[in-house]
Amino acid sequence: MKKAIIIGAGPAGLTTAYKLLKETDYIPFIIESENVPGGISKTLNYKGNRMDIGGHRFFSKSSEVNELWRTFVVEQGQPSQDDLLLNRTRTFVGKGDPEKEDNVFLVRNRVSRIYYLRKFFDYPVSLKYQTIKNMGFKRTMKVGFGYLGTKFRKLKEDNLENFYINRFGRPLYAMFFESYTTKVWGVEPKNIDASWGAQRVKGLSLWKAITSMFAKKKETSLIDEYYYPKYGPGQLYEIMARKIIELGGTILYNTEVKDIIVKENKIEKLLDTQGNEYVGDVYISSEAIKDLVNGIENAPKEVKDVATNLPYRDFVTVGLLVSKLEIQNTTKTMTVNNIVPDCWIYLQEPDVKIGRLQIFNNWSPYLVKDFADKIWIGLEYFCNEGDELWNKEENEFVEFAKEELEKIGIIKKENVLDGARYRVKKAYPAYFEAYHSFPIVKDYLLTITNLYCIGRNGQHRYNNMDHSMLTGLRTVEAIQGLISKEEVWQVNSEEDYHESKKK
């Protein structure tokens, strides 16, 4: 028996552990600094109301990942309106085997819109009558001519601003992308690498947005349905963690890895913040690259310099329990209590700091304790650790969040029943500044023969859950000698965002 030490019980770490147990003679030993599994895909529980940090859609083009998900949960389909209203209080619990009946993927409709000029626009933007009406004649003409201009003159795609302008035209870019992207990254799009756009929205353009309304095969960014575990994404990772332990693996919670002792291109041992030592045959890390490299005392100076300066964007989310929303459901989509049908709303209003709003009732009714008459919403703020937003006290932040939503007409403060704030460090690995020298770090990490880097921050790549999990699957193949270590880094690296299926 060999031992694999894994840093992190997020989607990537858990996937690696599970696959090792299933297919190799390595026994995984996961070290996790938090007290629950799931990493940034965990689900928080505030007085019985569950909060998904950001809202995690389960969608993957990878059959391997879809198959893996279905090992743990079964597809249930849409709950009916009656189910939701009448039987929603744990519909399936107590009627049989909860393992089978509760561990389900709901099929959800993706409804998300942009809120701008205190009006709703389609997300992604489409040129419907309503859009034109909302924008007004003058703005629409400007948008049209701006888009036509891109047909005659393409900008060099060396930054995100030019990437968007080439696809949407400058006026539409200024309306719907510039301020939102700046909110998300804290940096103007002209200073962000175009590869971010290539990964996330390559298939998207104004023309595609129009034609997608009729097309059968949709681009990833336009997928209309997604899966969602009944009790939020954390549910899946809790099930995975339980299975790993059943199969003989270990998860050590509340333990933070601090030092990585490297001798002659091999990790000799890890030390946690209490000085406890952990020795294994292989080491797999989903820890942020910046922290990993800083934990290696004898890493070369140029490597440390780049790793230390790698940029991240941090994140604060606020859950508000409200009795009423001020925005009306004017769509044809039916909802319980006729609340707006959106899973999330992009807030493009420049006079508030909030970036996005989740309506958890629409993700899964089972996230909300008093679903029949309360609405549980999640507000997303992008910030940097230590800045003004990050440093606000919880009560102060909740007050601030209420005021922002009232200002743009989403709620009335008096209808807020409760609120909670949660902070997430390094929510987004960013692609600017020191990131341009990232190959120096990656090449160094590849020289450590018994180290494998996985996941989102573990590879400093804007990976979704599926890609994070795929890095875990590839790592096990690399450990088995079936592929090279370099190939583990190729997941989600293709410019065109289409994951190439294994032949």
Ligand X SMILES: Cc1cc2nc3c(=O)[nH]c(=O)nc-3n(C[C@H](O)[C@H](O)[C@H](O)COP(=O)(O)OP(=O)(O)OC[C@H]3O[C@@H](n4cnc5c(N)ncnc54)[C@H](O)[C@@H]3O)c2cc1C
Q: Do 255 and 241 meet the contact criterion of CB atoms below 8 Å apart?
A: no
Residues in the chain: 503
Q: How far is the CB of 464 from ligand X (least distance, A)?
A: 3
Sign, CA dihedral 362-364-366-368, equals negative
Task: Establish if 260 lies at the interface with ligand X (CB under 6 A).
Answer: no
Q: Is 179 in the site for ligand X (CB under 6 A)?
A: no
Interface with ligand X (CB under 6 A), residue from 19, 50, 57, 421: 57
Does 199 engage in binding with ligand X (CB under 6 A)? no
Segment interacting with ligand X, rule: CB under 6 A, options 105-113, 297-305, 394-402, 461-469: 461-469
Asked if 112 touches ligand X (CB under 6 A), the answer is no
364 burial (CB, 10 Å; 0-12 / 13-18 / 19+) is buried
β-pairing, 356-359 vs 375-383, is: antiparallel
Out of 402, 421, 456, 474, the only residue in the binding site for ligand X (CB under 6 A) is 456
If one asks whether residue 262 binds ligand X (CB under 6 A), the answer comes out as no
Which structure tokens are listed for 445?
Answer: 């990490």
Amino acid at 65: V
Query: Contact region for ligand X (CB under 6 A) — 6-14, 68-76, 125-133, 399-407?
Result: 6-14
Q: Looking at 7-15, 70-78, 137-145, 333-341, which segment touches ligand X (CB under 6 A)? A: 7-15
**Residues 427 and 52: beta-carbon distance below 8 Å:** no
- The number of residues that bind ligand X (CB under 6 A) is 34
Contact between 499 and ligand X by CB under 6 A: the answer reads no
Using an 8 Å Cβ cutoff, are 197 and 168 in contact? Answer: no
Cβ at position 9, least distance to ligand X in Å: 5
Q: Are 3 and 31 in contact (CB under 8 A)?
A: no
What the block records as the tokens of 442 is 């990656």
Rounded Cα gap, residues 329 and 376, in angstroms: 16
Closest separation between CB of residue 323 and ligand X, Å?
26
Distance CA 398, CA 421 (A): 7
The yes or no reply on residue 162 touching ligand X (CB under 6 A) is no
Segment contacting ligand X (CB under 6 A): 2-10, 207-215, 323-331, 402-410?
2-10
Residue 430 as a binder of ligand X (CB under 6 A): the answer is no
Residue 501: CB atoms within 10 A of its CB come to 9
- By CB under 6 A, residue 427 contacts ligand X: yes
- Between 28 and 146, name the residue whose CB sits nearer to ligand X: 28
Query: In the numeric block, which tokens belong to residue 116?
Result: 């701008």
Nearer to ligand X, 32 or 146 (CB): 32
CB nearer ligand X, residue 176 or residue 363: 363
Does residue 367 belong to the site contacting ligand X (CB under 6 A)? no
8 to 47, contacts with ligand X by CB under 6 A? 8-13, 31-34, 39-41
The secondary structure of 198-263, three-state, reads HHHHCCCCHHHHHHCCCCCCCCHHHCCEEEEECCCHHHHHHHHHHHHHHCCCEEECCCCEEEEEEE
359 is a contact residue toward ligand X (CB under 6 A): no
Residues 272-331 that bind ligand X (CB under 6 A): 286-287, 291, 315
Site for ligand X contains 259 (CB under 6 A): no
Q: Which residue, 7 or 410, is less far from ligand X as judged by CB?
A: 7
Q: How far apart are CA 455 and CA 448, in angstroms?
A: 18
Q: Which is nearer to ligand X, 55 or 189 (CB)?
A: 55
Contacting range for ligand X; rule: CB under 6 A; set: 86-94, 201-209, 357-365, 458-466: 458-466
* Shortest CB 35 distance to ligand X, Å: 10
The letter for the amino acid at 328 is Q
Which residue, 117 or 252, is less far from ligand X as judged by CB? 252
Which pair of tokens denotes residue 261?
Answer: 């002792």
In this complex, which beta carbon is closest to ligand X, that of residue 102 or of residue 380?
Answer: 380
Query: Is 212 a residue that touches ligand X (CB under 6 A)?
Result: no
Selection from 391, 406, 408 nearest residue 346 by Cα: 408
Per-residue tokens: 188? 């103007």
Q: What is the DSSP letter of 285?
A: E
Per rule CB under 6 A, is residue 64 in the interface with ligand X? no
- Give one DSSP letter per residue of 311-331, joined into a string: -EEEEEEEEEEES--SS---S
Which of 21, 27, 54, 115 is close enough to bind ligand X by CB under 6 A? 54
Of positions 458, 470, 475, 492, contacts ligand X by CB under 6 A: 458
Q: CA 35 to CA 40: how far, in whole Å?
A: 13
Residues that bind ligand X (CB under 6 A): 7-13, 31-34, 39-41, 54-57, 256-257, 286-287, 291, 315, 427, 455-458, 463-466, 468
